[in-house]
Amino acid sequence: MAKEGADMTEETQFMIDKNVGKEVENVESPGSAKEMRAVMLAGFGGLNKLRVIRKAMPEPLDGEVKIRVKACGLNFLDLMVRQGTIDNPPKPPLVPGFECSGIVESVGENTKGFEIGDRVMAFVNYNAWAEVVCTPVDFVYKMPEEMTFAEAAGFLLNFVAAYMMLFEVANLREGMSVLVHSAGGGVGQAVAQLCSIVPNVTVFGIASCFKHAAIRDSVTHLFDRNIDYIQEVKKIAPEGVDIVLDCLCGENTGKGLSLLKPLGTYILYGASNMVTGETKSFFSFAKSWWQVEKVNPIKLYEENKVIAGFSLLNLLFKQGRCCLVKSVMDKLLRLYDQKKIRPVVDSLWALEEVKEAMQRIHDRGNIGKLILDVEKSPTPLMASDSTETSEAGEEEEEPEGDNDSKERMPFIH
């Protein structure tokens, strides 16, 4: 399990085009009709490694769709990519981002199902944080009429991951119980909404205390992440829970396994405990690795417990299960049309504000999804302050009510 925690981000080595470095360097001269704005990661490290550049606009290959991007999703994995806290990371410079929404601008040869002008959302094999992207048609989905571009950019990774973990891996059914970490984040809120469509499901949410007022109604029971939540959960459910969804890793792995009922399922889908400071920390990585529960298969057999891992991007880009993901998307879009689920958007940021947006998610200050709005103009404060970044502390401390990052928000829902 320890090695699994360290290797879980292997997915990223398969998620980059061989020519991405060349593309980023191929910056056209100002005034060219075939250039675009994009966020470039010049090298692994802190926020100062990110900047907005003008680069050559891609054109679709056979079977690809060219999208004029309106919005992009920002995920915790993007922080790990920036730091290089991933296994066999792609070589920078590169354009980050794995999901976006926008309008079809053109299609490549042998591309069917989409027309110019279609409103779409798409998974992207890196390169999403740009004004234009090209991605295989199998990763593109038409947006519902009522869905906004910001909602679409926050829909794909969060809801597909939540649905597949709950229903494809853990087989959620009526009367079961679920414990989810980071309940205030994009995946956490998607999990809460999907659990609400199944009768009598109890949801135990773990989140920083300052988020409780905003998300209390989305879960059955809510606990502060800094307390001994194991004892609090067992006061309500002495036998434990049926499903544990863990995006933290480290010491929470052992805690999650200890809370499982017989035939319960623990799913690891992230390792955010490995990210503490602004740059990659060997100490944080080693600490998280050391704290991971050493899994004994005989003990799992004796206790009738299931342990699993889930990586949506690996499933798509390495293992080729786009047909399975499409079937899940069909179900999710029906639920959206029935108004049973809806992405929670925390805030909108201009491309030029990507450093501040990353700092907010790094500080665990978001409730729902952070979105890069490609057409949004940066606020004057952000434009003049874009090179100044704060360094996160060694532990995941929750921000105070008057935190500067909240005062500097350009737009919050």
Tokens of 302: 């004796």
What pLDDT is recorded for position 287?
A: 45
Tokens of 377: 């103009």
What pLDDT is recorded for position 273?
A: 47
What pLDDT is recorded for position 413?
A: 44
Low-confidence stretches of the chain (pLDDT beneath 50): 1-32, 273, 275-276, 281, 283-291, 382-413
pLDDT tens digit string along 292-351? 566 778 888 888 999 999 999 999 999 999 999 999 999 999 999 999 999 999 999 999
Range list of β-strands (E), 160-305: 177-180, 202-207, 221-224, 241-246, 260-268
Domains 35-149 and 156-343 belong to one CATH topology: no
**CA nearest to 226, candidates 213, 210, 242:** 210
What pLDDT is recorded for position 396?
A: 36
Rounded to the nearest angstrom, the gap between the alpha carbon of residue 237 and the centroid of all alpha carbons in its chain is 30
Sort 396 into a burial class: Cβ within 10 Å, 0-12 / 13-18 / 19+.
Answer: middle
Q: With contact defined as beta carbons under 8 Å apart, do 64 and 108 qualify?
A: yes
What pLDDT is recorded for position 272?
A: 55
Q: Are strands 50-56 and 345-349 parallel, antiparallel or unpaired?
A: unpaired
CA distances from 316 to 10, 124, 153 (A): 13, 10, 17
pTM for the predicted model, two decimal places: 0.81
- What's the CA angle centered on 273, arms 268 and 276, to 5 degrees? 155
Which pairs with CB-CB distance under 8 Å and at least 24 residues apart come from 337-341? 337/144, 340/193, 340/196, 340/197, 341/159, 341/190, 341/193, 341/194, 341/197
What pLDDT is recorded for position 397?
A: 36
Which pairs with CB-CB distance under 8 Å and at least 24 residues apart come from 313-322? 313/11, 313/12, 313/15, 313/77, 313/98, 313/123, 313/157, 314/10, 314/11, 314/14, 315/164, 316/123, 316/139, 317/11, 317/14, 317/15, 317/125, 318/10, 318/11, 318/14, 318/15, 322/138, 322/139
Sign of the torsion formed by the C-alpha atoms of 322, 325, 326 and 329: negative
For residue 182, give the 3-state DSSP assignment: coil
Whole-number percent of the chain with pLDDT over 90: 62
pLDDT tens digit string along 53-65? 999 999 999 999 9
What pLDDT is recorded for position 238?
A: 95
CATH number of 156-343: 3.40.50.720
> Taking the domains of the chain in order of start, what are their residue ranges?
35-149, 156-343
**CA nearest to 265, candidates 274, 276, 256:** 256
Q: In which element (H, E) is residue 78 found? A: helix 76-83
For residue 233, give the 3-state DSSP assignment: helix
For residue 204, give the 3-state DSSP assignment: strand
Q: What letter would DSSP give residue 226?
A: T
- DSSP one-letter string for 382-405: HHHHTT--PPP-SS-PPPPTT-HH
User: How is domain 35-149 classified at the architecture level of CATH?
Assistant: Alpha-Beta Complex (3.90)
The span from the CA of 244 to the CA of 180, in Å, is: 6
